[in-house]
Amino acid sequence: MIEIGNIFMQRYKILGSLGSGGMANVFRAYDLILERDVAVKVLRSNFQSDELAIRRFQREALATTELVHPNVVQVYDVGDENGVQYLVMEYVKGMDLKKYIKEYFPIPAEEIVRITRQILSGVAIAHEHGIVHRDLKPQNILMDEEGNVKITDFGIAIAASETSITQTSSMLGSVHYLSPEQARGNKATSLSDIYALGIILYEMMTGKVPFDGESAVTIALKHFQENLPEVSEINPEIPKSLENVVLIATSKEISKRYPTVAAMSEDLASVLSPARVNESRVSLGETKTIKKQFTKPEKEGFESAKEQNDEDLLDQQIINFYRRGKSTKKIAAELLLPVDQVEDRLRLLAKKGKIQYPKKNGKKIWVISAIVSIVLILIIFLILLGGSPKDIEVPNLKDCTEAEAREKLSKLELDVNKIIDVENTDVDKGKVVKTDPKANTMVKEGRKIILYISSGVKKIELKDYTGKSFDKVKEDLVLKGYDSQLIVKREEANEDVEEGSIIRQSLQEGEKVDPTKDRIVFTVSNGSNLVTLGDYKGQFLNNVKSALHGLGLKESQIQVKYETDTKSSAGMVVRVDPGSGASVNKERGKVTLYVSDGKVTIPKGLQGNSEMNAKLALEDAGLNVNSVRENSDSVSKDYVISIEPSSGQVDLGSTVTLKISNGSLSSSSSSSSSSSLSGGH
């Protein structure tokens, strides 16, 4: 059993719990060999004898070890220790996407696109290995302190070829992100992952899932019966182009979804371009309730129907790409088909009247031909007048001011088209970052050049962070673009500020700083400087010292004084100053330990006392007593004649000898004579 503080596998020191899932517990640990934080995932004890659970856990390990990608949590170690299935993973310090959405909603569209494309990049590597995640949801997507995405929990991921263990009768994964085909009990595919990604994208844009209900069954039914609520009604700031990505990814008809996550990522790359932000809402021709999807095919002719469905799916994918302006070569590359096969399908689809191939527009062709003819005539005319325009190489204008750039272009018979301001950390404000066309490109004289001028780094206005969690403040600043290396933490003891919270900051509220250059130092509380003393009386000196060191007290703060105590053994603490429960400053406080020296003083006044009283006094002092008897004319019978040793100090537990009187010798003789006479009479 794993416990906090234990060392697992003689290598991983368990530091704390990171959470618990349906099958496994996850702990934060420290790798003592490689000196780094890791996450240790262990199959829960009630599943250790469940073969299906073990196979599923091992499948996660095998699936994830194949995936080496910056957006997938890396697995370092996998094994079985005394029947305990475990895997050791990369530790991601940060939060999951679910918490991120809750804390930062509304999220800017640019950030949504950035996060989603990182998720798609991680999922793409899994799909390339034939692995379908099957449980994509914000809780399984981690965000590190730099804002980077890490996909985790491939616990129900399955290689596409492992159909023998696919449970088509049960709904695996989280129902809020479940594709319609999974909800109906069909096999999950890479397109099922794309559907889940569409739901995640919807949640980032709106702050909530599209379908909810009182039970899992209710939610599952909504996935294939209802259309998604419009994003614009919840968050009007989201452009239609981004909403369209969600609509395509979450199409209830598999054939109308993106064929690959790469295609989805490619579409996302341009959604925020000015040409697309106001595009029309995409229509996929879906009805609100799709009852036909519940109809089961008859056994007879089922295989031919399946083949027909596969062919229809291929045709629909080709049509979607074609209508979006893809060339036959690009369509072939996307679908991994020969170009001639794509061309044959396009011709067949044209015969069926589904598309126009090749695209024809008589009027447009006539206009284009006319324009080409006019251009050719003009070129010939210019050549006849004095030759064609000269070829000129665009100069490298980087780091030039706008005035300098205009002057250089003018000398080369080039002109400035427009100025575009861009944020840039490498080029000073007001200077050229780049040109369009690029430097060293050959253009014709008179060409207008676009200048991209640096507006510098966007500065961040600081807030008053005192009293707030340092980890949370750092996370917020990094997400705003602050270089994490410039955020410095210095710890200081403080009795008034909670541990981990900021006491003060080097740059004050309202200051506008350069997040790439300006260093900010936070002084952070590491807790109170006071420690509470325990009850150390009756414990041995070395044990008490160890306990005080454990509280943070140094040897120089501990004073030891020896004294005689008749009740305590040598080296045992008799009393402490200050006493039990007292608070001591662990930097400046002093503690005095009074320790028994193990000595006992021989009690006085025992000579001439009764044997019984003398014994009691000596035993109470912690001494052993040995009595010897002898006749004495001066000391009464059963009284102490002498003590050895008679005074001074001896070790606790030492033996003291008492000489006890038997009375006088004459008294003894008289007693004997009397006894004899009495017997003779």
Residue 114: count other Cβ atoms within 10 Å of its Cβ: 15
135 is catalytic: yes
Asked if 472 and 478 touch (Cβ cutoff 8 Å), the reply is no
497: exposed, middle or buried (Cβ count in 10 Å: 0-12, 13-18, 19+): buried
Rg of the chain (C-alpha set): 44
- CA of 483: how far to CAs of 169, 454, 490, 527, in Å? 50, 20, 17, 27
Angle at 529 between CA 526 and CA 531, to 5 degrees: 120
Among candidate residues 584, 590, 496, 495, the one with its CA nearest the CA of residue 534: 584
Asked if 448 and 479 touch (Cβ cutoff 8 Å), the reply is no
Angle at 52 between CA 48 and CA 58, to 5 degrees: 75
Residue 446: count other Cβ atoms within 10 Å of its Cβ: 11
Residue 273: count other Cβ atoms within 10 Å of its Cβ: 10
Among candidate residues 587, 667, 652, the one with its CA nearest the CA of residue 618: 652
Between helix 190-206 and helix 240-249 the angle, nearest 10°, is 150
Q: DSSP readout, 284-319?
A: ----S--GGGGPPPPSTTHHHHHHHHHHHHHHHHHH
Length reported for the chain = 681
In angstroms, the CA 422 to CA 432 distance is: 10
Q: Which two tokens stand for residue 493?
A: 């003891």
Check 135, 153, 193, 518 and give the catalytic one. 135
Q: What is the dihedral of CA 171, 176, 178, 179, to 10 degrees?
A: 140
Q: Which two tokens stand for residue 269?
A: 């790359």
In angstroms, the CA 29 to CA 8 distance is: 9
Helix (H) or strand (E) holding 618: helix 611-620
Question: Can you tell me which residue has the tokens 């002898």?
Answer: 630
249 φ, ψ (degrees, to nearest 5): -65, -30
Among candidate residues 442, 514, 520, 451, the one with its CA nearest the CA of residue 485: 520
CA 371, distance to chain mean position in Å, is 60
Among candidate residues 410, 453, 406, the one with its CA nearest the CA of residue 434: 453
Question: Would you please indicate which residues are annotated as catalytic (active-site) residues?
Answer: 135
